[in-house]
Amino acid sequence: MSEDILQIKEVKKFFSHSSGVSVKSVDGISFSIKRGETLGLVGESGSGKSTLGRTIVGLYEQTEGKIIFEGRDVSQLTNQEKRDVNRKMQMIFQDPHASLNPRMRVEDIISEGMDGYGFLSGKKRKERVGELLEKVGLRSEHGRRFPHEFSGGQRQRIGIARALAVKPSFIVADEPISALDVSIQAQVVNLLEDLQKEEGLTYLFIAHDLAMVKHISDRIGVMYLGKLMELTDSETIFTKPLHPYTQALLSSVPVTHPNQKGQRERTVLGGDPPSPLHPPTGCPFSTRCPVATAECRDTPPEWREHSPGHWVACHLNNL
Ligand code: SF4
């Protein structure tokens, strides 16, 4: 791994609510991703992880902050450069059923993006669709069929082929396995890993629990109520989690390594996250944190580098 393919700096995405309140879905997130890396992003529903993914690929415009892709600030690009960046950043969606047009043949779904960017046409286009289908573990003749003729796992493979069709370098995979049977999830993760090696891809892999990102991620970030709580390499997040929220999430992940059994203290995560319409004044996790203090309820903790590469937002000094 070498240079950063993506840097995001203090990115915010706010939405206006009908009540007039500004909902801070993403509230000042900063991180970078190296070329060829997979960054897992985990959080409960409403944590802002999908909004962040969509903001990065340009489906939403950020309210504040900078998104720098391949060294260029995406807000400063010409239209032509924007088109190029839009091609290089693709997205795979959670629900392969909803994201594939049921009235289109698979070959047209896959080549739609290629047409938009003036890629191949005629026989070459058809050959490329066949190649892509085989690359994702389907058969070239599947191109003539419609989405409803496939299983959920196969439909997700079609979604992956569609993303690959325009030769991206960076893919936001937004809960790509959450809607699939457990037996199929590992197959799709393995496919994404193989494609990453073959195509030199970089991933932002979004999921709602740590178990789903464990195997594919080099580093993992944990989000809560629009903010990052912790970010480090994926081994450390499982063996030495610092943030009380990460610890609570981990207590629900089964311990499989015999040396780790009994090491993890169980933190029961009670209640639901507060409404993003009325977030707590201080630390976003203070209403559920078992060790919250008065300072936690008053003052938001800083995002700080606790040790090299291990970032955390928590007031506790003895982490
Ligand atoms: Fe808990 Fe306070 Fe740390 Fe927030 S800052 S996670 S409330 S200890």
User: Phi and psi (nearest 5°) for 155?
Assistant: -65, -35
Give the dihedral sign, CA 198/203/205/211: positive
226 Cα: distance to centroid of ligand 1 (angstroms) = 15
Checking phi first, is residue 318 left (phi over 0); if not, alpha (psi -120 to 50) or beta?
Answer: alpha
What integer pLDDT is reported at residue 262 of this predicted model?
46
Mutate to test the pocket of ligand 1, among 229, 314, 318, 319 (most ligand atoms within 8 A of CB): 314
Alpha-carbon distance 318 to 92, whole Å? 40
Give the dihedral sign, CA 248/253/256/257: negative
What integer pLDDT is reported at residue 266 of this predicted model?
54
307 Cα: distance to centroid of ligand 1 (angstroms) = 18
What integer pLDDT is reported at residue 271 of this predicted model?
74
Alpha-carbon distance 64 to 44, whole Å? 23
Q: Report DSSP state, residue 274.
A: P
Helix, strand, coil percent content, the chain, rounded in steps of 5: 35, 25, 40
Delineate the domains of the chain, giving CATH numbers in brackets.
4-217 (3.40.50.300), 242-319 (no CATH)
Please name the residues in contact with 239: beta carbons below 8 A apart, sequence gap of 6 or more.
Answer: 260
User: Phi and psi (nearest 5°) for 302?
Assistant: -80, 155
100 Cα: distance to centroid of ligand 1 (angstroms) = 42
**Ligand 1 atom closest to Cα of 229?**
6
46 Cα: distance to centroid of ligand 1 (angstroms) = 19
CA dihedral 10, 200, 119, 144 (to 10 degrees): -110
**Ligand 1 atom closest to Cα of 283?**
4
What residues in the chain have per-residue pLDDT under 70? 1, 253-268
What integer pLDDT is reported at residue 273 of this predicted model?
84
Alpha-carbon distance 312 to 93, whole Å? 28
The ligand 1 site (C-beta within 6 Å) comprises 243-244, 283, 285-286, 289, 291-292, 296, 301, 314-316
What integer pLDDT is reported at residue 268 of this predicted model?
63
Tens digit of pLDDT for each residue in 157-205? 999 999 999 999 999 999 999 888 888 999 999 999 999 999 999 999 9
- Helix ranges, the chain (H): 49-56, 79-88, 106-116, 122-135, 152-164, 182-199, 210-213, 234-239, 244-250, 294-298
246 Cα: distance to centroid of ligand 1 (angstroms) = 11
Alpha-carbon distance 102 to 127, whole Å? 22
Alpha-carbon distance 232 to 152, whole Å? 32
Global pTM value: 0.91
316 Cα: distance to centroid of ligand 1 (angstroms) = 7
Alpha-carbon distance 63 to 48, whole Å? 14
Mutate to test the pocket of ligand 1, among 224, 285, 303 (most ligand atoms within 8 A of CB): 285
What integer pLDDT is reported at residue 66 of this predicted model?
97
What integer pLDDT is reported at residue 94 of this predicted model?
87
Mutate to test the pocket of ligand 1, among 228, 267, 283 (most ligand atoms within 8 A of CB): 283
293 Cα: distance to centroid of ligand 1 (angstroms) = 7
Burial zone of 53 (CB within 10 Å; 0-12 exposed, 13-18 middle, 19+ buried): buried
Helix axes 152-164, 182-199, angle to 10 degrees: 20
